Structure 1
């Protein structure tokens, strides 16, 4: 038996969700301004989902083909202000470690490839940008907050999930990355 929401109830639920999202963004920005973390870190739990995605150059990436180096899977979208704010620090970390040691894959969530390419060009981003036009990769990896980053060790095992905006050049991120590179 199907259940249908009255159009006004559906609109009300949408507006309530939008208000909560806006409040979360404001609170996150206030936390950053106060020097507090605007992110949460949790250990990875569960199986390792497959990852197969095509980047903006047409190259297919598979997680199982990246063993031997640590990987950051960063799920983002250009409409997400915290995503845009953290992206330069992801680029800096990728440049610092080099892709043979730490590979940062920026997985764009449900946007037209032209939009992702335009964002990369306008910001000088040279990270591989993988496309997730239907959101299948994000769903498989349990991503519900943007940005979210999954830290994957050199053996291909996810170790941690970081939800929210992070300064990847900061002390906390340096500890996570050093631990990741040792595993």
Structure 2
């Protein structure tokens, strides 16, 4: 069964329920700080700012959206520095790249769930409001494993993006 990954407040992003998004963003930052410290990663001020900009919303942001957000509170950063920060954040699991939108989103789940062996990450992308939510499925991972083995194919990143309408937009 595919399970939505819930925020620490208990609300999945696409449910559009009232949840403490500030707490959600703080959780993403705290996890990045803790993992960086534990693994000896350089979580620089620029990387913090980029992650904070991504964590502002459950709507994926392009690199230039991030630049615009950062320019609201300080000097406009060079695109290359933002791209480097995004690469770092994705590489270490603090953010995800939504390939179909050429955009990024802060990772919304805990490190205990992140990278869970035997599960595949699924992004549910609303075409109307632009929101994205993460879900994970061990069953889907098993099916994908069977398909890729039959084709003698080794996947690098088992991520699936599903477009459609979230519950709120479907009833609007």
TM-score by length of 2: 0.27
Greater gyration radius: 1
Higher strand share: 1
